[in-house]
A and B are shown apart, each in its own frame.
Chain A
Amino acid sequence: MCASSAREDEQSRGERRERGAQHQDAQPGPTLTAELEPIGHALGSFGRDATAGERREAAHAVEGGQDPVREGEARPVASSFLVLFLLIGAHTTLETARDALFLTKLPPSRLNLVYIALAGLSFVVASLSTRLAERFGRRNALIGTLCLAAVATVLLHAMTPTPRVVMALYVLSGLVGAVLSPQFWLLAAQMFTSAQGRRLFGPIASGGVVGGVAGATTAALLLSRHPVTSLLLVAAFAFVATALLLTTLTLPADEGDPSAKLEVAFAPEEPAPEPSLALEQQPFVWRVALLVGLSTAAVLALDYLFKSTAASHIAPARLGQFFARYYALMNGVSLVVQLFVAGRIVRRVGVAAATGVMPSLLLLGAIGSFVTGGALLPVLATRMVDGGLRHSLNRVATELLYLPMPTAVRERAKGLIDTVLARSVQAVTAALLFGLAAAGVLSPRMLAAIVLALCASWTAVAASLRTPYLDVFRRALSRGTLQLGAKTEIDVNAAEALVEAMASPEPVQVVAALDVLAQRNREKLIPALILYHDSDTVLFRALEIFGASTRADWIPLGERLLSHPEESVRIAAVRALAKHGVASALARATEDSSATVQAYAVLYLALRSEDEDLARHPRLAPMLTASDPAGHAWRRILLTAIADAADPRAASLVLAIAQSKTFGTTELDVTLLARAIEALHDPRYIPFCVAQLGTRPGREAIRQALVAMEEPALEALEAALLDAETNRRVRTHIPRTIADFGTQRACDFLMGRLVEERDGFVRYKVLRGLGHIVASHDVKVDRRKIETEARRNLVEHLRLTAHRVAIENGTPGSPPLSPSEQLLVDLLGNKQNQSMERAFRLLKIAHRREDIHRVHTAARSHDKRARSNAGEFLDTLLAGRSQRELRALFRLVVDDLEPAMRVRGAAAYLGTIPRDRREALTALRQDRDAEIAMLSRYDAPLAGTG
C-alpha cells in the first residue's frame, strides 16, 4: 500500500466525500459543463451534450434502425422471412387467378354471396385451426394447413372452371388467407418477445410484401403465355415448399406444450394471481376486435368499390392483365413502405398510434372517391393505399398489438378476431352491400360514403388505443386492485371478521382489530365494553384510542379502570379521561398509590391552573432538577402531561428539559419531547428540532413536531438545506421532513433542489422526498424537469457501463484484474444500478399513477420477456414528441443487449468511449466522482495484493 496516498486519502476524506457525493449521480447540465472544462483532454467529449442529429441517430439505432437483427436472431428471422415470402407469394398467385376467373365468369354482385359463405365456413375453419394447434403445436398446424391448401388447389385445377368451381376457388382462397396468416403470426409471436417483435416484425413482414410482389409478378408473366388456371399449380407448389421450409424452423422449448403457457408479464420470478383469461374481461382485446372488425369492413367495401369500378371501366378480356399489373405495382408500393417507411413510423409514433396511419390515409382517399362519385383515379389511389399499407405497416402494427397479451389470451383472441370475427364482419358487410345493390341504391358514391364512414370509425378506434394498450401492462403490474390510500369500506363480511378478531382470546388479535379500525377512523365501531377486557395490552390500546376520539360513552367504564391493579392501565385511564376533561378522575388520581400516576395527575392539574410561571410551581420545580432515576421518570411523565394538556405556559418547561444534560437521548425520551413540542406548537423549538434530525432516536416524532409547526418550520428547514454549513447528517434528513409537509410549496422547493443540490446523497434524498410527497399528496410537479433529470441519470448509467466494459474486456494479453480494479468494477456496477434506479424513481414521480417500481423490477429481471414488456411499456408511456430521447435512452438501458453493444448504441450521448482498460483507467483517475477516481488510482501499487 502506498502510504503517501493513504495519507492523502485521510486528509482529503471530507473533501472527497463532498465532491464524490456531489457527483454520485448525474449533474445538472450547466454545472457539469463547467466542471468538465479543466479536464477536457482526459475526459474527451464525455458528458458533452450530443447534437440533435446525433441524438436522432442514436435513438434510431436504439430502436432498431441499425442492426435490427442481433446475434442469434438471424436464423429464425431468415426462416420466418422465407416462410412468409412463400406463403404470401402463393396466396397472391392464387388470388390473382381467383379474381380474374371470378370476374370473367360471374358479375361482381356475386362477391357478396361468396363473402357470406366465407363467413359461415370461417367459424368451422377457425375452430379446426385452434384444435389443430392445441393438438399438434402451432408449427405443425401451419404445416398441415398448407398441405391441405395445396391438395385442394390441385384438385380445383383439375376441374373445369365452371361458375361453381370458381366460387369454390374463391372460398378456398379466402379461407386459406384467413387461416394461414394468423397461424403464421401466432407462430412468430411465440418465437419473439415484444421488443424483438418491434425490431424484427418489420423485416419479417417485408418477406410477405416481397412475396406479394413476387407472386403478382410471376402471375403477370405466366398469364402472358399460359392460361389463368396454371397459376393454381404454381400456388400449390409454393404451399408445399412453405410447409417443407417450416419443418426446419427451430422453436422455443415450450412449443410442445402450448396449452401450458401463461405469461405473467412483469413478474416472472413471482407466482402472481393468474390473470383472467376470459376475453370479455380483456378490454384491450375488445378494442383490438373493434379495430379489426372496422378495418375488415372498410377494406371489403373498398375492395367492392375497386372491383366494381374496374369492371365498369375495363374490358373483361383485359381484366386478368390489369389485376396482375395493378397488384404487382401495389405490392411494389407495399415493399417500399415496408422497407423504408413502416419501421420509422412505428418507431416514431409507437405501436398504438401506428395503427391509425392507414385508416387516416384511407379516409382521405374515401373523401376523394365520395366527392368524385367513384371516379377511377381516386378509387385506384385509395385501393393503392390499402394494398400498400395493409400487409406492411398495418400488419406489423396490428401484430405488435397482440404481443403484450398473455399467451393464452393471445391464442384465443387472435383465432377469434382474425378468423371468425373478420369473416363475420365480411359476411355482414357483404350482406349489407348485397341488400343495397339488390335495392338498386348502391351507387359508386354510396359505396364511397360507406367506405368513408367505416374509415372514420376505424381512425377513431385507432386513436383511442393507447390507454387500453398501456392497461395491458398495468394489469400485469398491479396484481391486485387495492389502491393504497383508498379506504377499504367495511361491509358485513368485514364487520364479521372484525367482531371475530375482537372476541379472540388472543390479546394480540384484539389489539390488531382495534388498530385496523383506528386506521380507518372507525373508532365508533369499537364497543365500550372492550374496557372490560382481561388483557392490560387491550385496555391500554383501547384507552389510547378512546382518549383521542370524540366519543363519551366509554367514560364511566374508563373511570372504573382508575382502580385497575396495573399501573400502566391506570395511567392510560387518567390520560384518556383527562383529555376528555373529566376533572374528577384527575382529582382521584392524585391520591393513587403509584407515584407516577399521582405525578401525571398533579402535573396535568398544574398545567390547567392559573399559575403564571410553571417552572416555579412547588410540585413541578423539583421534578425538573431531580437527577435520580425517579426524576427522569417524572420528566417523562411531565412531557406526557404537557403533550396531553398542551398549555403554552409549559413551553419553558419543555425547553428546559430539551436543553438539560440529565435528560436522555433514547427513542422514548426524544419521542416524548417531540410530542410535547408538537402539542405546544411553539416556533422557539424549531432550531432544536432541525438539529435533532441528525440523531436517529425519535427522528420520526421530531419530524411530526416540525410538520405541526407549519410554515415557520418549513422555512427553517429550507434555509438549513440551502446552508452548506449545516451538518451533513442533518441535511440528509431534511428533504424527507420537508416532504412530510405535503404542500405545493414543499414540493416546489424539493423540485428546485433536485436540480441544484450539489451533494449527490442529499440530492438522492431530495429525490426520495419528492417521490414520497408525490405519492401521498395532491401536488403538481414539472414533468419536463423530472424527465430531464431522468435523462441525465440514464446517460450517467451508460457512461459507467462504457468504462466498466472497457476495464473488464481489457486488451489482448492484458493481465487479469487486480483486486483494486475488481473493486473499481464492482463500484462502477453499484453506481450503474443506482443511476438506473434513480431514473426509474424520477419516472415514477413524473407518472405517479403508474407502477414504475414493477417496471423497474421487470427491467432488471433475468427473464427476457419481462424485460421486453418493460421496454414496450416505457415506449408507449413515453410516446410524446418531447420524450423521444428519453424513450430511446430507456430502451437502450432496458433492452436485451450485450453491454458492448449497449455502449455502441450510446455513443452519441457519451462522445468518446474508452477502447480498452488503459484508456478507461486513465479517464477514471480524473473522474468527477471522487470514489471512482480514488479507486482508479490504486491499481498499480496494489497489483497482486490479497
Chain B
Amino acid sequence: MADGDRSGLLVREIFLAGFMAGLPPENIAWATPRLARNMVDVRLRAGDVLYREGDPSNEHWFVVYGEMKLEAEGVPPWVFGERSLIGTMDLTLDRARSRTATATRDTHLLRMPASDWLDLLEDNFEMLLRGVEGLAEGVHELRLALGDFEAARGPRRNAYTQAPEHGRLALLDRMFLLRGVPLFAEGEVQALIDLAENAHEAEAAAGELVVTRGEPNDSMIVVVNGGVTVHAAGARDETFGPGMLVFGSRAASSKDLGCEARAASATRTLRIVREDYFDAMEEHFALARSSMKALAAEREELVNESGRRAAQGSAAITAPPRT
C-alpha cells in the first residue's frame, strides 16, 4: 500500500469514527476499516453537480467539509454541511435520485458503495438495530415537533381489512394483516410467518387504555377491528384504524414515546412483542430493510413539511445531518 493510500485510509477512518461517535468503541473499531477501505475521495468546486434527479442510486456520500444542497421541484431544498451523509434516503427507499445535489461551496466528500453499507448492517445486528430505532425515534421527534401535522396521505390504510369480526384470526389472516403494515410490508414471507405465529390477540373496550404512558414499551400493536387513539402532549390526537400499526412506523423504537393510547371503540388488536420483531429482523434482513424503508418514507414526508414551514422564514432548512 502506498503512503498516500495509507494516510488517506487513516483520515477516512478518523472521519468515520467521528461520524459514528455515540456507538460503542468496539462497534466503531469493527465498522470503520470495513467502510473506509472502499471509500473514494470526491472533491467538488462550488456549483458542481454531484448527481441529478433521476440518476440511479448506487452509493451515498459523507460530507467531510463544504456544503451540499439537494433540490427538486415542488419540495423545499435540503442543505447538508460537514459530517453529514447524503444520498441515503433514495438508497433506503430503493429509488432513483429524487433531487439534484449541488455543491454550494468547495466540498470534500467520501463516496461509499451502497452495498458496503448494507453488508455492514447485515453483518452487525447491533448496529442495524441502533439504526432502525434511531430512525424511529427521529420520526417520532419530528412528529412531535410538527405538532398538529398530519402527513398528506394521513395514516396509511391497510389494504387488508377483511379480518373476521369474531373468533381467533387464522395464521394466514394475520399474515395478510401484517403484510399491509408498511413496517413489515416488504419483509420476507418467512418473517411474516414468524411475526404472525408469535403475535397475541387482545381485546379492549371503548376508552380502555391500550398503551400506558411511562410503562415499558415492549409491544407493537396492530388494530384488527375498531380503532386506537393516541394522545401525545402538544400534538393532535391520532386514530389508528383496522390494519394499522398503532404509532405507525415509530413503533419500531423500544424507547418510551411518552404517549398513551386508548381504544376509540370496542377494539381487537394483535400484539407483537418487540423482541420477537427484533428477532425476526435479525433472522430476516429483508424485514429490517422494509422497516428502514417505511421509516425513511415517513421521515422524508416530515422533513419536507418541516422545510415548508421553515421556508416561510428562510429559503432552506438544514436537515438533520444523518438521514
A-side interface residues toward B, CB under 8 Å? 1-3, 5-7, 9-10, 13, 17, 267, 269-273, 479-482, 484, 488-494, 496-498, 501, 506, 508-509, 511-513, 515-516, 518-519, 696, 700, 729, 761, 819-820, 823, 826-827, 830-831, 853, 857, 931, 934-935, 938, 942, 945-946
Decide: B9 and A3 in contact? CB cutoff 8 A: no
Residues of B within 8 A of A498 (CB): 10, 14
CB distance from A905 to the nearest CB of B (A): 27
CB distance from B36 to the nearest CB of A (A): 8
Decide: B37 and A506 in contact? CB cutoff 8 A: no
Decide: B170 and A481 in contact? CB cutoff 8 A: no
Decide: A512 and B37 in contact? CB cutoff 8 A: no
Given contacts A17-B197, A494-B7, A496-B7, contact A1 B17 (CB under 8 A): no
CB distance from B82 to the nearest CB of A (A): 9
Residues of A within 8 A of B5 (CB): 481
Decide: B18 and A508 in contact? CB cutoff 8 A: yes
CB distance from B93 to the nearest CB of A (A): 16
Interface centre among B25, B40, B164, B286 (most CB of A within 10 A): B25
Residues of A within 8 A of B15 (CB): 512
Residues of B within 8 A of A490 (CB): 6, 10
Q: List 18 A-B contacts (CB under 8 A).
A: A3-B170, A6-B169, A6-B171, A10-B171, A13-B197, A271-B58, A271-B59, A272-B113, A482-B9, A484-B34, A491-B6, A497-B7, A512-B14, A516-B17, A696-B278, A820-B172, A827-B190, A931-B190
A516 and B190 CA atoms in complex are apart in Å by: 40
A512 and B15 CA atoms in complex are apart in Å by: 7
Decide: B175 and A823 in contact? CB cutoff 8 A: yes
Residue B137 is within 8 A (CB to CB) of chain A in the complex: no
Residues of B within 8 A of A491 (CB): 3, 6-7
Given contacts A9-B170, A696-B275, contact A513 B14 (CB under 8 A): yes
Residues of A within 8 A of B283 (CB): 761
Residue B238 is within 8 A (CB to CB) of chain A in the complex: no
Decide: A482 and B7 in contact? CB cutoff 8 A: no
A142 and B10 CA atoms in complex are apart in Å by: 51
Decide: A484 and B14 in contact? CB cutoff 8 A: no
Residue B134 is within 8 A (CB to CB) of chain A in the complex: no
CB distance from B99 to the nearest CB of A (A): 19
A512 and B83 CA atoms in complex are apart in Å by: 13
Residue B121 is within 8 A (CB to CB) of chain A in the complex: no
Decide: A934 and B171 in contact? CB cutoff 8 A: yes
Decide: A1 and B170 in contact? CB cutoff 8 A: yes
Decide: B17 and A273 in contact? CB cutoff 8 A: no
Consensus secondary structure, chain A interface: helix
A700 and B3 CA atoms in complex are apart in Å by: 36
Given contacts A270-B58, A482-B37, A946-B162, contact A938 B189 (CB under 8 A): no
CB distance from A162 to the nearest CB of B (A): 61
10 smallest A-B Cβ distances: which pairs?
A493-B7, A6-B170, A512-B17, A512-B18, A827-B189, A1-B170, A482-B37, A494-B7, A830-B188, A508-B18
Residues of A within 8 A of B172 (CB): 1, 820, 823, 935, 938, 942
CB distance from B179 to the nearest CB of A (A): 8
Residues of A within 8 A of B167 (CB): 3
CB distance from A775 to the nearest CB of B (A): 10
A823 and B190 CA atoms in complex are apart in Å by: 10
Decide: B58 and A506 in contact? CB cutoff 8 A: no
A501 and B21 CA atoms in complex are apart in Å by: 14
Residue B168 is within 8 A (CB to CB) of chain A in the complex: yes
* Chain B 48-68 interface residues, beta-carbon cutoff 8 Å to A: 56, 58-59
A492 and B32 CA atoms in complex are apart in Å by: 21
Residues of A within 8 A of B197 (CB): 13, 17
Nearest A residue to B192, CB-CB: A823
A259 and B173 CA atoms in complex are apart in Å by: 57
Residues of A within 8 A of B190 (CB): 827, 830-831, 931
Residue B298 is within 8 A (CB to CB) of chain A in the complex: no
Nearest B residue to A13, CB-CB: B197
Nearest A residue to B33, CB-CB: A484
Residues of B within 8 A of A482 (CB): 1, 9, 33, 36-37
Decide: A519 and B29 in contact? CB cutoff 8 A: yes
Residue B26 is within 8 A (CB to CB) of chain A in the complex: yes
Given contacts A506-B18, A931-B190, A945-B162, contact A270 B10 (CB under 8 A): no
